[in-house]
Every structure is written in structure tokens, then in C-alpha cells.
Chain A
Amino acid sequence: TQLLEQSPQFLSIQEGENLTVYCNSSSVFSSLQWYRQEPGEGPVLLVTVVTGGEVKKLKRLTFQFGDARKDSSLHITAAQPGDTGLYLCAGVRTGTYKYIFGTGTRLKVLA
């Protein structure tokens, strides 16, 4: 049983479409991060959310932390081929200092 489940697992869309990736858990997290990983590289941090209900925007990417701090979503508007990659959420459970990574979402944006 994975603590952080991401959905969908795979997503293939056309350039210009919108999409949302979800990261869900039954545990409460003190913070949640989103990373993007490209082939042959390590994950790169996109954003950190720490407050329940928090919304952060990074250009065409919108990140939300659930009110109960058990889930998060990543919304991409007008996807571009450069958004292609593996998206990983990662959280630190309340009372711990260890990062737990989600199951990952592989996104492919077709030109």
C-alpha cells in the first residue's frame, strides 16, 4: 500500500489541452511538494505547499493543497510539449521528517 497515490498513472494529451494530476493519501502531511523528472535526470522541485487550502501558481501550473492536508492537485493549463515528463508529489507526514514520494504520473504532450 502506497501512502501517496497519484492519478492518473499515465496521461497522453494534445498540445493546448488542460489537465489535472491528483495526489491522495489517508495520512495528514505537514507539507507537500511537486517535482518534475525528465528522462535521465533527477527530480526537480516545482513547488512546496504547507497550508491547508493553499493555492500556488507557477506560470501555467496551479498547485493546490487540500484543506485537510491529505491531498494535492496539479493543474496545467494549455499544456505544451515541454511539459512532458514524470510528475511526482512528495510529502512529509506530520510528526516526521522523512519524505514520502507518490506513485508518479507520466505525462506526454503531443505537438
Chain B
Amino acid sequence: DTAVSQTPKYLVTQMGNDKSIKCEQNLGHDTMYWYKQDSKKFLKIMFSYNNKELIINETVPNRFSPKSPDKAHLNLHINSLELGDSAVYFCASSQDWRGGKNIQYFGAGTRLSVL
């Protein structure tokens, strides 16, 4: 029973298209995150939601729009995809938003390839 699950695992699409990635956690956590991992394996936070409210938005282009219908779900919609959007996107969750001793549980990632 996967704690943090994201779909799809692979996404190949053309430049200019719009795509969505879905994430669900069954841990009862209040906080969810989206991270982007580039080709050099550098992991950078994009967004964080606490109980459906946006709490971190890291200078991400507004083509990226997260949506949290409830605290167990955080989806990521990307408009007008660009070549530079190619990366692995990870969803994560933690008990609350206060960082520090919180354990983040990560999904298995969505590998996005923009052609």
C-alpha cells in the first residue's frame, strides 16, 4: 500500500502541450510538496501546501499551477510545456509544515520528457 503515489510515472509530450501530474498520500499528513529534480540530480522545492493552502511558492513560472482539492491530494498542472521543463517531478508529504524534525515521504517520481 503505497504511502505517496503519483501518476503517471512517465510522461512524454511535445513542446507547447499542457499536462497534469497527480499525487495522493494516505498517511493523513497535512503538508504536501512538489519538487523538481534536474539531470544533475539536484532537488529543488517548487511548492508546498498545508491543509489545502499554498505556503511555499518558489519563483516557479506561472505556467505551473498546483491544485489541492483536499489535504490528501496535490496535483500539478503545467501549461505550454518547454524543453527546460524536462525533469523528474517528485511529490512528498509530511506531518506538518514546520520542517526541522519532520519526515518527508516521497513518491516514486514522474519523469517528464518534453520533445
Contacts and interface: CB of A to CB of B under 8 A. Distances in A.
A92 B100 contact: yes
A48 B103 contact: yes
A88 interface: yes
Contacts of B103: 45, 48
Q: Which residue of A30, A41, A43, A96 has the most chain B CB atoms within 10 A of its CB atom?
A: A43
Interface in B77-115: 90, 92, 97-101, 103-109
B101 A50 contact: yes
A97 B41 CA distance: 22
Contacts of B55: 97
Contact of B108 (A2, A31, A41, A101): A41
A62 interface: no
Contacts of A88: 43
Q: Which residue of B41, B48, B58, B105 has the most chain A CB atoms within 10 A of its CB atom?
A: B41
A106 B104 contact: no
Contacts, number: 64
B44 A101 contact: yes
Contacts of A92: 99-100
Contacts of B56: 98
B101 A42 contact: no
A44 B40 CA distance: 18
B41 A48 contact: no
Interface string A88-111: 101010001111110110100000
Given A45-B103, A90-B43, 9 more contacts: A30-B100, A31-B100, A43-B106, A45-B104, A48-B101, A97-B98, A97-B100, A98-B45, A99-B99
Interface of B: 4, 35, 40-45, 48, 55-56, 58, 90, 92, 97-101, 103-109
